């Protein structure tokens, strides 16, 4: 087994396994800039295969994908409405938006309700088929870095839970910048490996999904990625999401395994009410940034 891995953010070859005792030695931390990343990386073809239908309805979603992405539709809309609202604070009025990693297109539906001109791309052919049922050919399947897209075309580029899944975030951000008009807005959400939750829960932290989450950002590494790609950060804060009580309990079992038998009893007795609420474990970064006039470095 190799004893070092090159950092994609700063290029340093000084890295160590992170956290040393866990996660099969596939996770590394750069000793120079603190970036946490999976090494070796999967091939693009493996990623394309990963995001099939099973990814969106996976019984073992604590490790991979979603337990019921379609069934969670209303909560996902609510989360996206909240995010759209904060985006409208920095970009009032209509906007042409490209959602990178758009999955079933739910953010785009919400943006279309606000009369935005919506476009989306996703690596998952399954997901794009679903999105096209509602949005038609405004959504396409493909790898963002490989697809030809018009330069300086979009007012807003969004990357919700996208950047941690990609092989080359630096190139993704450079491309996003190229596609944005002058002064255009980039908005993204990603797990925060520097959060309290990640520190407290260690290898149990639900951000650690090594087959799909390949890069783990903190405030500091995110800031560096964005600034080096030519963005000025407008805001960076922790954000939650709307969750069903059922999913909330499932996640809670991950962090507090001793309650699992109790939760299983509730489920069997169908005693978990179908309610949802906004929850935040303060471990998801929501970042809004603006294309600056000149790419740095």
Using the rule CB under 5 A, give the single segment among 2-10, 156-164, 189-197, 222-230 that binds Zn ion: 2-10
Quick check: 7 binds Zn ion (CB under 5 A)?
yes
Quick check: 108 binds Zn ion (CB under 5 A)?
no
Report the 10 Å Cβ neighbour count for 280: 12
Query: Would you say the C-alpha torsion 76, 166, 54, 19 has a positive or negative sign?
Result: negative
The 10 Å CB-count burial string (b at 16+, else e) for 48-83 is eebbeeebbebeebeeebbbebeebeebbbbbbebb
Q: How far is CA 141 from the centre of its chain?
A: 17
Using the rule CB under 5 A, give the single segment among 3-11, 123-131, 160-168, 246-254 that binds Zn ion: 3-11
Cβ proximity to Zn ion: between 120 and 194 the closer is 194
DSSP letter for each residue of 141-210: ES-TTTS---TT-EEEEEEET-GGG-S-HHHHHHHHHHHEEEEEEEEEEEEBTTSHHHHHHGGG-TT--T
Query: Considering only residues 4, 6, 10, 67, which one is a binding residue for Zn ion as defined by CB under 5 A?
Result: 10
Report the 10 Å Cβ neighbour count for 270: 7
Q: How far is the C-alpha of 283 from the C-alpha of 111, rounded, in Å? A: 25
Residue 245 CB, nearest approach to Zn ion (Å):
40
Residue 36 CB, nearest approach to Zn ion (Å):
10
Quick check: 12 binds Zn ion (CB under 5 A)?
yes
Using the rule CB under 5 A, give the single segment among 8-16, 85-93, 117-125, 239-247 that binds Zn ion: 8-16
Cβ proximity to Zn ion: between 9 and 176 the closer is 9
Tokens of 255: 């962090």
Residue 218 CB, nearest approach to Zn ion (Å):
12
Here's the x/- map for Zn ion, 277-296, by CB under 5 A: it reads as --------------------
Cβ proximity to Zn ion: between 34 and 68 the closer is 34
Using the rule CB under 5 A, give the single segment among 6-14, 47-55, 64-72, 288-296 that binds Zn ion: 6-14
Residue 26, SS3? coil
Contacts of 95 (CB under 8 A, 6+ apart): 111, 116, 117, 154, 155, 156, 185
Site for Zn ion in 24-83 (CB under 5 A): 30, 32-33, 35
Quick check: 14 binds Zn ion (CB under 5 A)?
no
Residue 7 CB, nearest approach to Zn ion (Å):
3
Report how far apart, in Å, the C-alpha atoms of 88 and of each of 32, 62, 185, 196, 236 are. Answer: 37, 32, 11, 29, 16
Using the rule CB under 5 A, give the single segment among 12-20, 47-55, 152-160, 259-267 that binds Zn ion: 12-20
Using the rule CB under 5 A, give the single segment among 9-17, 47-55, 114-122, 224-232 that binds Zn ion: 9-17
Cβ proximity to Zn ion: between 30 and 110 the closer is 30
CA atoms within 13 A on the CB side of 96: 11
Strand pairing category for 117-122 and 96-100: parallel
Residue 93 CB, nearest approach to Zn ion (Å):
39
Interface size with Zn ion, residues (CB under 5 A): 8
Binding-site ranges for Zn ion (CB under 5 A): 7, 9-10, 12, 30, 32-33, 35
């Amino acid at each position: 087994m190799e004893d070092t891995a090159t950092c994609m953010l700063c290029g340093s070859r000084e890295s160590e396994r992170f956290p040393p005792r866990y996660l099969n030695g596939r996770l590394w931390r750069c000793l120079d800039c603190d970036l946490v990343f999976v090494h070796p990386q999967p091939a693009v073809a493996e990623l394309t295969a990963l995001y099939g239908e099973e990814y969106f309805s996976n019984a073992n979603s604590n490790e991979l994908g979603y337990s019921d992405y379609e069934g969670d539709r209303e909560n996902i809309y609510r989360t996206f409405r909240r995010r759209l609202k904060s985006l409208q604070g920095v970009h009032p009025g209509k906007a042409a938006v490209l959602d990178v990693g758009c999955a079933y297109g739910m953010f785009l539906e919400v943006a279309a309700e606000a009369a935005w001109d919506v476009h989306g791309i996703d690596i998952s052919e399954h997901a794009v088929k679903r999105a096209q049922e509602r949005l038609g050919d405004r959504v396409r399947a493909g790898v963002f870095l490989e697809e030809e897209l018009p330069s300086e075309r979009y007012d807003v580029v969004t990357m919700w839970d996208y950047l941690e899944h990609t092989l080359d975030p630096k190139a993704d951000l450079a491309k996003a910048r190229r596609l944005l008009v002058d002064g255009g807005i980039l908005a993204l959400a990603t797990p925060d490996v520097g959060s309290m939750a990640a520190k407290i829960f260690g290898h149990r932290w639900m951000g650690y999904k090594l087959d799909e989450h390949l890069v783990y950002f903190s405030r500091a590494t995110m800031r560096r990625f964005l600034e080096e790609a030519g963005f000025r950060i407008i805001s960076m804060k922790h954000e939650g999401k709307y969750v069903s009580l059922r999913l909330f309990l499932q996640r809670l079992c991950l962090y507090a395994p001793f309650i699992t038998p109790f939760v299983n009893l509730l489920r069997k007795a169908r005693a978990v009410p179908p309610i949802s609420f906004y929850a935040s474990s303060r471990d998801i970064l929501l970042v809004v940034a603006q294309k600056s006039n000149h790419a740095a470095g």
